[in-house]
Structures are given as structure tokens and as C-alpha cells.
């Protein structure tokens, strides 16, 4: 079965749809949450709250998703290694649909506790991102094919990102249609998650040989972060990926605030900017990544991409930079970030056997979740003081990541 199933097989379509919806659900908050917190006229928080505290609260809300994901990802990844991918997929899709409904009701009733709870629940079950990547590894035979498949699935994520921005900005705008409200996009996402759940139950064929009696592996999955930090070869790649996500997540999450605060752009300009970010991400993974997979090992690509990401983020700090020049540098940074994402995942995946892909990628997702939790809070505080300092912070973090991965690339080859 493994030899016959490919990433484009009908039985694998629900996995691709899961990855699409996860990225859709992640990005759909960008055109919705930022106005909620940065525009004093809205009633989610008081009108007398300062800009510093608004950006900090925005960071805390964004951070609730990865904080929950930190606990969910390693458990779900290890559990899928033990009992198989399909059962865990079905459970996480059910939980994700409930989380989107709670988020929608939180927005509708402007109840910040319900909003936070919904995002946290969605974050916990978003560990199925790990399952998607592990399932790709299950059906992939060669090293180069795994790198290319990660690039293709990242392209799907980029398409989901673009459609989420368009959908979120449109369905949340009552000026386009009186029925449209900021809560509608979350209810739509919950509906499509339920459709995905049905397709997963009907079509997905188990891609992993489960080991229901291997309890040691399950409990080891929970403890794998400590093990990863003690393993030198993979430790530096994990560190590089952590620093990459610590750089890129706040860079993306505060892009709207940067455009509003420094360039006073209109909402449609913000929407168009995010659309081009998603298109750039998809082009990098669909066209450039397959070429690089033939020329360089993933760890080398990861190093160069992180270094260039740092450079282009620093270039956004040019004094009195025009909006077109800022966007040029930002889109170039996006291209480098896309290649960093794919090559970093491939480098990590190639360090372990297929039997522990869920655990390896689950640990990585927890490390990503730590970065996703710390990043928005730190960035919210930094942006509240001076938002342009944000790119000084994220560019420096990316440069440190490049150094860490370069040390691994130039050291003794113990993996892959």
C-alpha cells in the first residue's frame, strides 16, 4: 500500500485538505484580530487602553494558540505512532471544529474569555499539522522526494493562507454585505473542518503500521524534547528551527500593525499584501524548492535561507523607506522564510526512521509552539515601544539561527 499511495492519491486528499484548513484557520485571524485590538472604536477591549497594552493583549491572544499546541503536538504525534494516524486525525478534526465554533461565538458576543478558550482548544488540536507531515513521510521513499513533497504541501499551505486572508477580510466586512460579520469566517472554517472530518473517515487509508502495545514509545514521545536537546546532531537543527519560528511568526503577525502604524495604509492594501505574501510562499516551495533539492542538502539550504532572511529583514529598517521598497524587502524575506520552513523540516525528518516520524515532528511542533508563544508576547512589547524595532529583533534572531545550523552543517555528519 505504501508503494502505491502518493501525495496526490485520492486516499491522501483528506490529509492535504487537513493541512490546507489548518493554515486557513491560522491565517484567517490576521485581518480580523488586529482591528479588534488596534482600533479604539471596537468594544472587545476598552477605548482607553494604550497602544502598548493593545499590542501586548494582541500578542497574548495570538500566543494562546501555540501554548496549547505545545502540549498537544508531542502527545498527538507520539499517539499516532502508537495507534495509527487515522484515529488521531478524526479526533483532532472534531476538536478543531469545536474550537472554531467557540472562537466564532467569542467574536460574536465579544467575550474575550470565550475567544481565548476557542483559540486555545483549536491550538491543542492543531497538532494534526504534525500528523500531516508524518503521513507524508510514511508514503515517501527517497530523500529528494521527501524534500519535494514537503515543498508541495507547503505550497498547499500557502494557497490556504491566501484564501484565508481574502475570505477573512471579505466575510468580516459588513460594507460588502450586511450579513457579513467578523464571526462568520470562523463558522465557515468550522463547517469545512466538519466536511474534512467526513472525507477523512471515508477515504483516508492508514499510512502507518500501528504498535498498540508499544507503551514505552508513547511515553517516550512526551519526554522527547529533553532527548532532542541532548542529541548534538539534531539539537542544532532544532535550535535553528526554533530561532527561525521565533523570527518569522511575530514578523507575520505584526505585519498589519506595521502597515497601519508606519504607512497608514487602507484595509484593502493590507489584504493585498498578505495575498502576495502567500503567493510568494507558494512560488518558493513549488518552483524553487524542487530545484534546490537537487543541488544542496536540506541543511545547507536551511543555513543560506536563514542568513538571507536576516538580511532582508534588516533592509526593512532603512530610514524613511517608501512603502514599495519596504514591500519588496518583505516579499524577498518571505521567499527566504518559505525555503527555511521546507528545508528545516526536511533536515529534521531525515534524522530519524519512518517509525518515529510522528515523534520527531511532534517534538519539533512543540519547539515551534514555544517560539510561537514567546514571539508574539515579546514582539507585542517591542512593537508597543517602537514597532520598527520589531524587525531589528527578528532579523537578529534569524541570523543566530543561521549560525546554529551552519555549525551543524559544517560539523561531523551524524545523520541523514
| 185 neighbors 172 (Cβ within 8 angstroms) | yes
Which pLDDT score, from 0 to 100, does residue 256 have?
81
Least confident of 152-166, 324-338, 375-389: 375-389
- CA–CA separation, 229 and 227 (whole Å): 5
Q: What is the pLDDT of residues 199-208, one digit of tens each?
A: 999 999 887 6
DSSP secondary structure string, 78-101?
HHHHHH-HHHHHHHHHHHHHHHHH
Give residue 404's pLDDT band: very low, low, confident or very high (50, 70, 90).
very high
Query: Mean pLDDT, to the nearest integer, of 107-136?
Result: 87
Averaged confidence pLDDT in the chain: 83
pLDDT at 3 over 60: no
| 267 neighbors 31 (Cβ within 8 angstroms) | yes
Q: What is the pLDDT of residues 93-118, one digit of tens each?
A: 999 999 999 999 998 888 888 988 99
Place of cell 483516508: 204
Q: How far is C-alpha 202 from the geometric centre of its chain's CA atoms?
A: 27
pLDDT at 212 over 60: no
Model confidence, pTM = 0.77
Of 40 and 334, which is predicted with more confidence?
334
- CA–CA separation, 272 and 270 (whole Å): 5
Pick the CATH number of 1-210 from 1.10.20.10, 1.10.3720.10, 3.30.465.10, 1.20.1250.20: 1.20.1250.20
* CATH code of domain 214-415: 1.20.1250.20
Query: For a pLDDT cut of 70, what percent of the chain falls above it?
Result: 86
Which pLDDT score, from 0 to 100, does residue 412 have?
46
| 15 neighbors 149 (Cβ within 8 angstroms) | no
Which pLDDT score, from 0 to 100, does residue 217 have?
46
| 246 neighbors 397 (Cβ within 8 angstroms) | yes
How many residues are recorded in the chain? Answer: 416
| 100 neighbors 25 (Cβ within 8 angstroms) | yes
Q: What is the pLDDT of residues 227-279, one digit of tens each?
A: 555 666 688 898 999 999 999 988 988 888 888 888 888 878 888 898 899 89
- CA–CA separation, 246 and 250 (whole Å): 7
| 124 neighbors 69 (Cβ within 8 angstroms) | yes
Q: What residue ranges of the chain are covered by domains with CATH 1.20.1250.20?
A: 1-210, 214-415
Alpha helices, DSSP H, located in 172-297:
184-203, 215-222, 224-230, 232-253, 255-263, 267-283, 289-295
Amino acid at each position: 500500500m505504501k508503494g502505491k499511495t502518493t501525495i496526490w492519491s485520492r486516499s491522501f486528499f483528506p490529509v492535504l485538505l487537513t493541512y490546507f484548513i489548518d493554515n486557513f484557520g491560522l491565517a484567517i485571524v490576521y485581518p480580523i484580530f488586529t482591528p479588534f485590538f488596534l482600533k479604539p472604536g471596537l468594544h472587545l477591549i476598552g477605548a482607553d487602553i494604550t497602544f502598548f497594552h493593545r499590542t501586548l493583549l494582541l500578542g497574548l491572544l495570538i500566543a494562546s494558540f501555540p501554548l496549547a499546541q505545545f502540549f498537544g503536538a508531542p502527545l498527538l504525534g507520539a499517539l499516532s505512532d502508537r495507534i495509527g494516524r487515522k484515529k488521531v486525525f478524526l479526533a483532532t478534526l472534531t476538536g478543531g471544529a469545536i474550537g472554531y465554533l467557540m472562537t466564532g461565538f467569542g467574536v460574536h458576543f465579544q467575550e474575550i474569555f470565550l475567544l481565548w478558550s476557542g483559540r486555545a482548544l483549536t491550538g491543542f488540536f492543531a497538532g494534526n499539522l504534525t500528523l500531516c507531515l508524518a503521513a507524508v513521510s510514511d508514503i515517501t521513499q527517497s530523500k529528494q522526494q521527501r524534500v519535494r513533497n514537503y515543498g508541495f504541501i507547503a505550497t498547499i499551505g500557502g494557497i490556504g493562507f491566501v484564501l484565508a486572508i481574502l475570505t477573512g477580510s471579505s466575510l468580516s466586512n459588513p460594507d460588502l454585505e450586511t450579513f457579513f460579520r467578523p464571526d462568520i469566517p470562523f463558522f465557515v472554517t468550522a463547517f469545512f473542518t466538519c466536511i474534512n472530518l467526513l472525507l477523512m473517515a471515508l477515504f483516508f487509508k492508514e499510512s502507518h503500521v500501528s504498535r498498540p502495545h508499544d507503551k514505552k514509545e508513547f511515553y517516550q514521545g512526551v519526554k522527547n524534547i529533553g532527548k532532542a536537546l541532548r542529541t548534538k546532531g539534531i539539537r542544532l537543527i532544532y535550535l535553528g528551527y526554533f530561532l527561525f519560528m521565533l523570527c518569522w511568526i511575530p514578523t507575520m503577525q505584526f505585519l498589519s500593525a506595521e502597515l497601519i502604524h508606519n504607512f497608514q495604509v487602507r484595509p484593502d492594501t493590507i489584504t493585498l499584501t498578505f495575498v502576495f505574501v502567500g503567493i510568494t510562499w507558494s512560488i518558493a516551495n513549488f518552483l524553487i524548492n524542487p530545484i534546490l533539492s537537487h543541488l544542496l542538502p536540506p541543511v545547507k539550504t536551511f543555513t543560506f535561507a536563514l542568513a538571507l532572511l536576516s538580511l532582508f529583514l534588516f533592509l526593512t529598517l532603512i530610514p524613511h523607506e517608501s512603502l514599495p521598497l519596504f514591500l519588496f524587502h518583505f516579499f524577498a524575506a518571505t521567499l527566504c522564510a518559505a525555503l527555511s520552513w521546507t528545508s528545516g523540516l526536511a533536515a529534521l525528518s531525515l534524522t530519524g526512521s519512518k517509525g518515529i516520524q510522528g515523534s520527531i515532528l511532534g517534538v519539533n511542533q512543540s519547539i515551534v509552539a514555544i517560539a510561537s508563544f514567546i514571539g508574539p508576547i515579546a514582539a507585542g512589547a517591542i512593537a508597543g515601544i517602537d514597532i520598527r524595532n520589531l524587525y531589528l529583533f527578528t532579523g537578529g534572531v534569524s541570523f543566530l539561527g543561521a549560525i546554529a545550523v551552519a555549525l551543524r552543517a559544517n560539523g561531523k555528519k551524524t545523520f541523514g
